[in-house]
Structure 1
Amino acid sequence: MTTLTKASRRDFLKIAGSSVGGLVIGFSWFSCDSPKMEVLSTEEILSQAKSFNSYLSISPSGDVVIYSPNPELGQNIKTSFPMVVAEELDADWEKVRVLQANLDTEKYDRQLTGGSGAMPHSWERLRKAGATAKFVLVAAAAKAWNVNASEITVEKGIISHKGSGKSGHFGEFVAEAATMTAPEEVTLKDKKDFKIIGTSVKNVDSKEMYTGKPMYGLDFYREGMLHAMIQRAPFGMKIKAVDDSAARGVSGVKDVVTFGTSVAVVGESTWPLLKAKKLLRIDYEPDGAVESTADHDRIFADLMLNGKPDVKRKDGNFDAAFKGAAQVVTAEYQCPFIAHSPMEPENFFAHVKGDKVELIGPTQTPDRARQATAQLLGIPLENITVEITRLGGGFGRRLRADYVEEAVEVSRAMNAPVKVTWSREDELTGGAYRPAVRYRFEAGLDASGNMIAYKLRGVGMNAGNCTRENNFPSGAVANVLIESIEHKSSITTNAWRAPITNFLAYAEQSFLDEVALAAGKDPVQFRLDLLQQAKTSPVGGELGYDVDRMIGVVKAAAEKSNWGKDPNVKQGFSVYYSHRSYVAQVADIAMEGGTPVLKKVTAVTDCGMVVNPIGANHQVRGGIVDGMGHAMYGNLTFENGVPKQKNFDSYRLIRMKEVPEIDTHFLDTGFDPTGLGEPALPPTGGAIANAIFSATGRRLRSQPFIEQKEFSDIKLEIRRA
C-alpha cells in the first residue's frame, strides 16, 4: 500500500549549486519536533544553502551525501537515518556518503540525542525527503526524454525508461530537477517494496573506527591550544581557600584558575596537569547538606514512612480493597547511585574570542551547550558555533553542559583556546549520576489469587517523578495507588540510560513474581491474565502502553525460551514497555555441580519495523549487557560528599567473560519504528533476579546483587553455550 503525504511548495525548497551543478533539496519542518536531515554534495553547496533547514544533495557524479544532524554515540542513527532517505530515493547505497552536521538551529529542529526518540520522530519526514527528491528527478528525466513520468523506474540511482531504452544516473538530471515545481503530495513506498530498510548495513563509520582515524572529542587537537584539568569540590561543599604553589611549580603548567567551586590547572599537555592537580591544596566548607550513603538510608526510611507524596495515579479505592484482601504481599526495593561510565570521559574544546565562541566536542545536546555558554558569557546565541564530534558513549551523561562551561570558563580566563579533559577519576567522582531510589510495593489478592489492589510509593534522590504511573500493571488492576516523593540531594543526578525505568522495571517485575508466587500462579500466565484484564476491562484513565503489543512479546518470549519445558533449567521472566517499545526477556539458569550457572538470556523486542537488523541486534545486546552489569555490580557510595569508588578498580563493571549467550528476536507488528537505544535495558535485572530466585529461593530486592546478603553465598557463574 502506498502512502500520500503532503509536501507543500512553501516547505519544499531547491537550489542548484552554480559552482558544481549539484542539487540541494530542503524541507522546512519548523512545525514538527523531528530531527532534520541535511544531505549535501560539497561544502560549496552548503555555503550557498544557509537559509534552508534540511537538505538532500546529489552531485553531478550521482553521489549522494547526507549530513546527519543528530549526535552519534553508538545508537547507529548516523547509519539508519540515511538508510531511510536512500530507500525512498531508490539510491545506490554504495554511492551514499554520510558526514556529521554541526549545530544549526536555523536548519534543524530537535538536534539532539536522547530518549530513543530520533527515529520515531523523523521516520515519515525522512521518507518524505527521499520520495520528493525522487519525484523531481523522475520529472526531469521525463522532460528530457519526452516520455510520461509514470513509465519511468528508478533503481540504485539509475533512472530508466523501458520503452525508449533510455537511462541515466541521478547526477545527469540534477540541473533540470532544480527547476521543477514541488509536488503537493508525494507517494511513499509500500513497506513490502523496501530494498535498503530491513537489510543489514554496516556502520558508516566502521572503517574510520577500525583504522583509528580521529573522530572523537579526545582526538581533537588544534595547534597552539592549551589543556586544562579540573579539581571539583565535593558535593555540598564550596571552596574556602586554595594553595596552588606546588601545582604551579610543575614543569609544563602555565597557570592555575579558580572559578565557582572548581580549580583548573592549565598547561601544554595533560600529563603534567595530572601531577599538578594532585598537588593542589584546597580547603572546603559546607554549602548545604554534605551527604553520605548512611544518610541516604535514613532519608529513605523517613520519607517512605512520613513523606508527603505526590499522587500520580488513583484508580478505585486501594485502602478499602487492601483491607478486604484475602492475602497481602509487601516488599521494598532499592537501587544506589551509579555513574554513566562512558568509554570516553568528558572533554570539550572552547575558544572564547571576545564576544564570539567556538565550541568543539562530544555532546548529546549541542544547543544546550550553546545556550549555557551564551548565558555564562552574556553574549548572543548567534555568536557561538558548535561542532559535534562522535561520542565515545554518553548514556545521558552528555545531556549536561557542565564540562562545556568549564572549557569556556578557562578559555575566557586564559584568553586562549583550551581543551578540558576529565580523567576517569573525574568522571566517576564529579559526575551527575543515576538517582538512588527506593520503592515500596503493596498488593492485595482475593481468595482466587487475583490481584485486586496494587500500590507503589517511590522515593528518589533528585529523581523527579520516580514512577511511570501509566505503565503496566496500571489499567489491569481495579484499585491502584501510585505515589512519588522527591528528596533534594546535593549530589547531582542526570538521566541515565532508560531514565527511571532502568531500575523501576527490575523492581516492578521482581515484585510481580513475588505476587504470582503468593497467588500460586505461573509468572508468565499471571502477567497474561493481568494484560487480558487490561484489554477487555481496562481500569482508570490513560494507559501508556499498547496491551496487544505487550501480550505479543510476552507470548513470543515464552515460546522462544521454551518457558517451563526443561525441568533442569530454572527461568526468570520480565517484560517492560519504555520509549515506545516492548521487550520481554527470559533468563536461564542451570545447576551444575551445585552451582547456579546463568546460561542464556532470550529477548523478544517489538520496536516496530527494524530499519537495520545489525544495528538493532547490537542495541538489544548492548542494553542487556549494560542492564545486567549494573544490576549485578554497579554501586557508588558516598562519604562526606565524595564517592568512595574513584576508578574501575573499585567501581565494578561487567566483564566480557561474564556475558552469557544472548538470543535476540524481533516481532514485525507492522508499526513504524520506535525507540531502541534504551528499551532492552530495563527488563534485564528483573529476568536475572527472578531466575536466581527460581534456582536458589533467594529474593534479591536491592542492587547491586553481589553486595546483598541474600547473594553472599551464591556462587553464580556465567557461561556461554
Structure 2
Amino acid sequence: MNILTNPSKLRGFEKHVKVENVSRRSILKGLGIAGSFVLAAPVMTRQAFAYETGAGKMPHGVVVDPRVFVAIAPDGIVTILAHRSEMGTGVRTSLPLIVAEEMEADWSRVHVQQAHGDEVKFGNQDTDGSRSTRHYLIPMRQIGASARSMLEAAAAKKWGVPVAEVKAQNHEVVHSASGRKAGFGELAADAAKEPVPSIEGLKLKDPKDFRYLGKGQVSIVDLHDITTGKAQYGADVRLPGLKYAVIARPPVTGGKLKSFDDSAAKKVPGVEKVMEVKGWPWPSKFQPLGGVAVIARNTGAAIKGRDALKIVWDDGANAKYDSVTYRASLEEAARKPGLVVRKEGDVDAALKSADKVITGEYYLPHLAHVSMEPPVAVADVKGDKATIWAPVQSPGGTREDVAKTLGIPEDNVTVNVTLLGGGFGRKSKCDFALEAALLSKELGAPVKVQWTREDDVHHDFLHTVSVERIEAGLDKSGKVIAWRHRSVAPTIASTFAAGANHEAPFELGMGLIDNPFEIANLQCENPEAAAFTRIGWFRSVSNIPRAFAVQSMVGEIAHATGRDQKEMLLELIGSPRIVNLSSVKDPWNYGEPYDSYPIDTARLRKVVELVADKGEWGRKVPKGHGLGIAVHRSFVSYIATIVEVAVDDKGKFSVPRVDTAIDCGTFVNPERIHSQIEGAAIMGLSLAKYGEISFKDGKVQQGNFDDFPVIRMDESPVITNVYIVPPGADTPPSGVGEPGVPPFAPALINAIFAATGKRIRALPIGKQLET
C-alpha cells in the first residue's frame, strides 16, 4: 500500500489520454502505475486460495501485494489499480470493487486507475477466457483484506490499544470502547510502515456483511464518460508530431508483396511517405502480415493515398482456398473415422444394434469479430525504448511481442491500455500494435496505425469453420444408447505452427470431449482439417459450433421420438453426478482443476429446470410462434436458454422473448451478469441470422456491415429475462462474458422447427425460411 502526498506529473500515456473514473482526480505520486515509491511485490503463483483455480498456472501468476494495487492519499482518496482490460464487461469496476469491499473503503471516495502492461509487477493480464472474476475474486479480496489489516494495525498502535479492539468500517478505523475514529488518509503514512500480512493469517469479511458485492447497485466507473462521449478509446490518442498510417496488406493469408507503384498515392494532399512494411512467413502467430504503408498528416489522407496505390501481390499457396469446396471437404472428412479423443463403451456395436439411428450434420462458417472499434494503435519508438497506446486485451503479451519484434529489452517497453470498443478475442492478438511499433521505429516519430472496417474483416483472426456430424442410436423404447460426434475444423493452433491439422486439447474441451450426457456408448472423434487463413479465438470459441450441433440433435431426437424437448434434454443429461472423464487423454477444463470445477450434472439440470419454470416452458403461443430450448456448460458455468420465435407467412422471423438461466457460482455484480447475457442474446441472434465469412481464390468476400451485417435494434429480442442461480456455500466463481452465446443458436433453431417444421442444419439462417 502506497502513501500519497503530492500530485505527480503523468506518465507518457496519462498526459494525453486519461483512462480513469469520472471524477478526473489527478494521478498521485506513488501509485504502482506511476512507478515512484513502490515496494517490492512478490509474485505468488501458488498462493493459498479458499479453493484452487488455474490462476497460478497462467503466465506470471497472481500478485496479491496491496502495495502494488492500493494507494491512499492524505485526503483519504483511495486509488485502486485495474490490471485487466475493459471492453464492456465491467471488469475495470468489478475487480477494484472487490478490493474496496474488503478494505471497507467508501466507493464514492475510490479512484480507479488503469495499469500498464507489466505482468511481473501486476500478475497475469490476459483479459480473455471469461477468467477475470474466477481467477481474481479471492486475490482481490486478499489485497483488500491486507490493506484493511494494515490500517487497523496502524490505528491500534496510534491509540495504544490491542488490534483486536479496532475495526475498519466505511473508510475509517474505529475504537468502539473509547469512541475514537481515524480516517484512512490520517492513518495512511503509518499503515504503509506495517508489514504486509501473510495470506494464511488474513481474515476475509463474512459475505453477509458485504455492502457492494452481489448487490448490483454500483455502476461501472466509466459510465458517465462513455455516455457523454468523453471516454478515451484507442483512436482518441493524440501525441505531438503524430503521423497517421494505414496499410495495404496481402489479400490472401501468406501472400507477399511483389511490386507497387506509389506515384499516384504521393500526389494525394496530406500524404507524406509510402513505405513497405515487413511481413513474417505464415503461420506467424500475431506478427504483421506485411504490405505497403501510407503515412499522412491525417487518417483520411492516408486512406485516399492507399486507394491510389497500384500493387502486385504474390498470393501464394492459400489462393486456392474456396469456401464451397472446403465445406465439401469437411463434410467428406466428417463421414469417415477420425482421431478418437473420447471413448466410452462400444459405439460401433451399439449403433449397429440400434433400432433407429438419427444422423445430423451441422455446418458453421467462418465468423468475424467486427467489434465496434476496429484495431488501432499508437506507437512512439525512441532508440531502444517504445511506448504503445492501444486497446489490447493482453497488455503483458503485447509488451513481450513488441520487445521481441523490435529487438529491445522488455523493460524498455511501456504498453498503455485504453478502453476497448469491444474485443471478443480479436484484441488479444497484437498485430496492429506491432505494425505501429515497426513504423514508428522506421520513421523516428510517433505513428498511429488505423484499421478500417474492411481491413478488420479482410485480415481478421477468424472464428474457425466447422462441420459437426452426430449419429445417435436409439433402442426400441426411444432411449439413446449410442452417440458418435465427429468434429472437423481447422485449429487455432495453425496460427502458431505449420502442419497443425487436429484441434488442440483446449478446443476439444469446448463441447466435444466434455459431453455431459449419460450415454453408455459415447465416442468423440476429430478428423484432420487444414487451415488456409488466420484462425483465432472468438467469443465462446469452439463452444459455438458444438452447442449448435449437440443441442440441435437433442431437438431432432425429441421430434423423432415424440418427446418434449426439455424432457428429452433432461433424460440425456441423466442422473445428478460428476462426469467421469478418465477415458480422455487430456481433459482440458478451461485451465481449471477438475476438483474445483467438475462437470456437475446437478447444476446443469438446475439451469434447465429453472429456465423452464421461469420461462414458462410449454406455454401456449400464437400461430407461427415456437419455443426452443438449449443448455450448455462453458467456461465452467452452466447456462440454459429458451427462445420464442415468430415466423410470418413469408419466412421473416423475429424473437419476441428470450429467457436464460445461468449458474456462474459466486458473483460480484449481478447487473453486469444481466448485461452480458443480454448482449450474448443479441450477438447470438446476429451470428445465427447473418454470420458468414466466405472465401474465393483465397480472399475474404465480405468487407463491411453491408455484406457482413449485424442485427439492428428493431431485430433484437424484444424481451430478455435473466435468472441467476444463487451460489451454494463456497461455490467458486466461473465465467460470464462468453457462456451466453453458445446455447442461443440451437435454442433459436429448435424454436424455428417448432414454429415451422423446418430443420436448419447450416448457419447462418439467412433466407432459408423465406418463400
- Is contact 2:77–2:185 with CA below 8 Å preserved after alignment? yes
How far 1:243 sits from its partner (Å)? 1.2
Aligned counterpart in structure 1 of residue 620 of structure 2, from 566, 573, 590:
566
1:90-111 CA-to-partner distances (Å, cap 9, x unmatched) read: 1111111101111112212211
TM-align CA RMSD: 2.3
Letter in 2 for 1:515: I
Partner of 1:295: 325
1:547-606 CA-to-partner distances (Å, cap 9, x unmatched) read: 111111011010011111325462100111111111111012357789765310001111
Matches of 2:558 and 2:733, distance apart in 1:
33
Letter in 2 for 1:217: G
- Is contact 2:650–2:770 with CA below 8 Å preserved after alignment? no
Matching of residue 547 in structure 1 with residue 601 in structure 2? yes
Within 5 Å, give how 1:278-317 maps onto structure 2.
278-290=307-319, 291-306=321-336, 309-317=338-346
Distance 1:109-1:537 versus aligned 2 partners, 3 A rule: closer
Aligned counterpart in structure 1 of residue 725 of structure 2, from 664, 667, 675:
667
Partner of 2:684: 627
SS at match of 1:461: coil
Matches of 1:326 and 1:642, distance apart in 2:
46
Matching of residue 577 in structure 1 with residue 598 in structure 2? no
Partner of 1:257: 275
Aligned counterpart in structure 2 of residue 678 of structure 1, from 735, 738, 741:
738
1:625-652 CA-to-partner distances (Å, cap 9, x unmatched) read: 1111111111112222222211111111
Of 82-91 and 136-145, the range deviating more from structure 2 = 136-145
Aligned counterpart in structure 2 of residue 248 of structure 1, from 244, 260, 266:
266
Letter in 2 for 1:192: K
Partner of 2:28: 42
Matches of 1:433 and 1:207, distance apart in 2:
33
How far 1:285 sits from its partner (Å)? 2.2
Partner of 1:383: 412
How far 1:422 sits from its partner (Å)? 0.6
Partner of 1:128: 142
Aligned counterpart in structure 2 of residue 228 of structure 1, from 239, 245, 267:
245
Partner of 2:81: 67
- Is contact 2:576–2:602 with CA below 8 Å preserved after alignment? no
Matching of residue 694 in structure 1 with residue 750 in structure 2? no
- Is contact 1:15–1:49 with CA below 8 Å preserved after alignment? yes
Partner of 2:611: 557
SS at match of 2:76: coil
Distance 1:394-1:451 versus aligned 2 partners, 3 A rule: same
Matches of 1:539 and 1:394, distance apart in 2:
32
Within 5 Å, give how 1:177-188 maps onto structure 2.
177-184=191-198, 185-188=201-204
- Is contact 1:449–1:520 with CA below 8 Å preserved after alignment? no
SS at match of 1:624: helix
Runs of 4+ residues deviating >6 angstroms: 591-595
Distance 1:50-1:350 versus aligned 2 partners, 3 A rule: farther
How far 1:44 sits from its partner (Å)? 3.5
Partner of 1:35: none
SS at match of 2:643: strand
- Is contact 1:445–1:519 with CA below 8 Å preserved after alignment? no
Within 5 Å, give how 1:366-377 maps onto structure 2.
366-377=395-406
Letter in 2 for 1:56: V
Aligned counterpart in structure 2 of residue 491 of structure 1, from 519, 526, 533:
533
Matches of 1:122 and 1:440, distance apart in 2:
38
- Is contact 1:475–1:534 with CA below 8 Å preserved after alignment? no
How far 1:148 sits from its partner (Å)? 3.5
SS at match of 1:623: helix
- Is contact 2:5–2:28 with CA below 8 Å preserved after alignment? no
SS at match of 1:699: coil
Matching of residue 196 in structure 1 with residue 212 in structure 2? yes
1:647-678 CA-to-partner distances (Å, cap 9, x unmatched) read: 11111111111112101111112223211110
Matches of 1:402 and 1:633, distance apart in 2:
27
How far 1:540 sits from its partner (Å)? 5.7
- Is contact 1:631–1:705 with CA below 8 Å preserved after alignment? yes
How far 1:530 sits from its partner (Å)? 2.4
- Is contact 1:257–1:263 with CA below 8 Å preserved after alignment? yes
Aligned counterpart in structure 1 of residue 302 of structure 2, from 267, 273, 288:
273
- Is contact 1:235–1:490 with CA below 8 Å preserved after alignment? no
Of 592-601 and 142-151, the range deviating more from structure 2 = 592-601
SS at match of 1:83: helix
- Is contact 2:466–2:489 with CA below 8 Å preserved after alignment? yes
SS at match of 1:188: coil
SS at match of 1:311: strand
How far 1:193 sits from its partner (Å)? 1.7
SS at match of 2:264: helix
Matches of 1:610 and 1:343, distance apart in 2:
27
SS at match of 2:744: helix
- Is contact 1:554–1:575 with CA below 8 Å preserved after alignment? yes
- Is contact 2:7–2:29 with CA below 8 Å preserved after alignment? no
- Is contact 1:436–1:460 with CA below 8 Å preserved after alignment? yes
- Is contact 1:198–1:613 with CA below 8 Å preserved after alignment? yes
Partner of 1:703: 763
% identity of equivalent residues: 35
- Is contact 2:632–2:639 with CA below 8 Å preserved after alignment? yes
Of 288-297 and 175-184, the range deviating more from structure 2 = 175-184
Matches of 1:704 and 1:207, distance apart in 2:
37
- Is contact 1:40–1:57 with CA below 8 Å preserved after alignment? no
> What count of residue pairs does the alignment treat as equivalent?
680
Which structure 2 residue ranges, 5 or more long, are not aligned? 9-24, 42-62, 280-289, 493-502, 588-593
Matching of residue 406 in structure 1 with residue 435 in structure 2? yes
Of 204-213 and 225-234, the range deviating more from structure 2 = 204-213
Aligned counterpart in structure 1 of residue 90 of structure 2, from 49, 72, 76:
76
SS at match of 1:51: coil
Partner of 2:48: none
Q: TM-score, normalised by structure 2?
A: 0.84
How far 1:272 sits from its partner (Å)? 1.1
Aligned counterpart in structure 2 of residue 56 of structure 1, from 70, 86, 89:
70
Matching of residue 205 in structure 1 with residue 222 in structure 2? yes
- Is contact 1:251–1:272 with CA below 8 Å preserved after alignment? yes
Matches of 2:305 and 2:26, distance apart in 1:
46
Partner of 2:49: none
Matches of 1:17 and 1:394, distance apart in 2:
34
Aligned counterpart in structure 2 of residue 442 of structure 1, from 468, 471, 483:
471
Aligned counterpart in structure 2 of residue 518 of structure 1, from 550, 556, 560:
560
Within 5 Å, give how 1:609-628 maps onto structure 2.
609-628=666-685
Aligned counterpart in structure 1 of residue 655 of structure 2, from 572, 594, 598:
598
Distance 1:45-1:337 versus aligned 2 partners, 3 A rule: closer
Matches of 1:66 and 1:486, distance apart in 2:
48
Matches of 2:125 and 2:437, distance apart in 1:
21
How far 1:615 sits from its partner (Å)? 1.4
SS at match of 1:702: coil
How far 1:20 sits from its partner (Å)? 8.4
1:58-101 CA-to-partner distances (Å, cap 9, x unmatched) read: 22222111121111111110010011111111111111110111
- Is contact 1:471–1:577 with CA below 8 Å preserved after alignment? no
Distance 1:286-1:178 versus aligned 2 partners, 3 A rule: closer
Aligned counterpart in structure 2 of residue 481 of structure 1, from 523, 540, 543:
523
Letter in 1 for 2:410: L
1:289-316 CA-to-partner distances (Å, cap 9, x unmatched) read: 211222322321332245x733211111
Aligned counterpart in structure 1 of residue 99 of structure 2, from 69, 85, 106:
85
Matches of 1:63 and 1:619, distance apart in 2:
31
Distance 1:424-1:41 versus aligned 2 partners, 3 A rule: closer
Distance 1:91-1:537 versus aligned 2 partners, 3 A rule: closer
Distance 1:183-1:352 versus aligned 2 partners, 3 A rule: closer
